[in-house]
Amino acid sequence: MEIEAEANPMDKYLRADRIPHIWCPGCGLGIVLNAFLHAIDELKIDMDELAIVSGIGCTGRIAGYINCDSYHTTHGRAIPFATGLRLANPEMKVVVISGDGDLFAIGGNHFIHAARRNIDITVIGVNNYNYGMTGGQLGPTTPLGARTTTSPYGNVEHPFNLCHVAHASGAVYVARWTVLHAVRLKNSIKEAMNKNGFSFIEVIAACPTTYGRRNKMPTGLDEMKYYREHSIIRHGIDPSQANIEIGKDIIVGKFIDIEKPTYSDAFEELKKRVKK
């Protein structure tokens, strides 16, 4: 018997000819994609004016599934690529979606400087506590003590608190959610995309295949249960108070929402002042 699948209302935003996607069962990335598509749907974004830029990794594959101008760049370089694109083409809404390793290890320098300059882009950083694509190595967000393929005896490095990094670097909007908070995540994406300036959302996402399995959460559901038991919402908290540690509460919420001139605003002003 053939079962006809009902069209999902979000299908229109996807490149149908690129499905099935590459992600594992239980992976959090589908929820991130879904929340993003709902956000652009509710914002009524003109898909001709949206550009998605990503680096390399499981998360980096999101760009290729969304039916808009999409750029899958090199590992770590999504943000500077997006910076060039946004400055050269100010009509475009530019969103970077990439992984924790991509954005904060190999690309960490670009993140802090784009935030400092207040480049008008939204960055969605998917934190799955490890390098999913390459088989589950230690990353800059791997919690102390966690086991990965390159920390087989437990991680001895202190992880980054991504929201603290974003805040300290100058981001005008900073929020953190887990993939359990799909609707709040969607609302945050809408807010971030409406911000003028560098907005950042950290999404804590399940990676059962390469992270969960080695850390007593072998399925996506286990990770979701962990988020439900451990996450607490604290809007407006100083992000420096929101470190992530194994077994402790994960503080989520909207932490920062401020206004300041963007790089483009300032550069346009400068151009006006410059007389030939």
Of the candidate residues 87, 105, 168, 246, the single one contacting other proteins (CB under 8 A): 87
From the CB of 18, what's the least distance to other proteins, in Å? Answer: 6
Give the whole-angstrom CA distance, residue 195 versus residue 190: 9
Does 133 participate in binding ligand TPP (rule CB under 6 A)?
yes
Does 132 participate in binding ligand SF4 (rule CB under 6 A)?
yes
Query: Footprint of other proteins on residues 232-271 (CB under 8 A)?
Result: 263, 267, 270-271
Stretch that binds other proteins, among 69-77, 133-141, 147-155, 247-255 (CB under 8 A): 69-77
With respect to Mg ion, which residue has the nearer C-beta, 99 or 220? 99
100 binds, among ligand SF4, other proteins, ligand TPP, none (CB under 5 to 8 A by kind): ligand TPP
From the CB of 89, what's the least distance to ligand SF4, in Å? Answer: 31
Query: DSSP letter string over 186-232?
Result: HHHHHHHHHSSS-EEEEEE---TTTTGGGGT--SHHHHHHHHHHHEE
The total number of residues shown for the chain amounts to: 276
H/E run at residue 31? helix 29-43
With respect to ligand SF4, which residue has the nearer C-beta, 174 or 205? 205
Of the candidate residues 39, 58, 62, 83, the single one contacting other proteins (CB under 8 A): 83
What is the distance in angstroms between the CA of the first residue and the CA of the last residue of the chain?
73
Q: One-letter amino acid identity for 92?
A: M
Instruction: Name the residue among 274, 242, 5 with its Cα closest to residue 127.
Output: 242
Does 68 participate in binding ligand TPP (rule CB under 6 A)?
no
Give the whole-angstrom CA distance, residue 162 versus residue 242: 9
Of the candidate residues 70, 128, 141, 142, the single one contacting other proteins (CB under 8 A): 70
Query: Footprint of ligand SF4 on residues 199-238 (CB under 6 A)?
Result: 207-210
Task: Give residues with Cβ within 8 angstroms of 237, minimum separation 6.
Answer: 251, 253, 255
Q: Quote the radius of gyration of the chain (alpha carbons, Å).
A: 18
102 binds, among ligand SF4, Mg ion, ligand TPP, none (CB under 5 to 8 A by kind): ligand TPP
Report how many residues bind ligand SF4 under the rule CB under 6 A. 12
Instruction: Name the residue among 199, 203, 192 with its Cα closest to residue 171.
Output: 199
Question: If phi over 0 gives left and psi between -120 and 50 gives alpha, with beta otherwise, what is residue 253?
Answer: left
**Would you call 112 helix, strand, or coil by DSSP?**
helix
Of the candidate residues 49, 157, 245, 259, the single one contacting other proteins (CB under 8 A): 49
Residues forming contacts to ligand TPP in the complex (CB under 6 A) are: 56-59, 75, 99-102, 126, 128, 131-134, 139
Chain residues that interact with Mg ion, rule: CB under 5 A: 99-100, 128
Applying CB under 8 A, the residues found at the interface with other proteins are 15, 17-18, 47-49, 51, 53, 56, 63-64, 67-74, 76-77, 79-89, 91-92, 109-110, 113, 263, 267, 270-271, 274-276
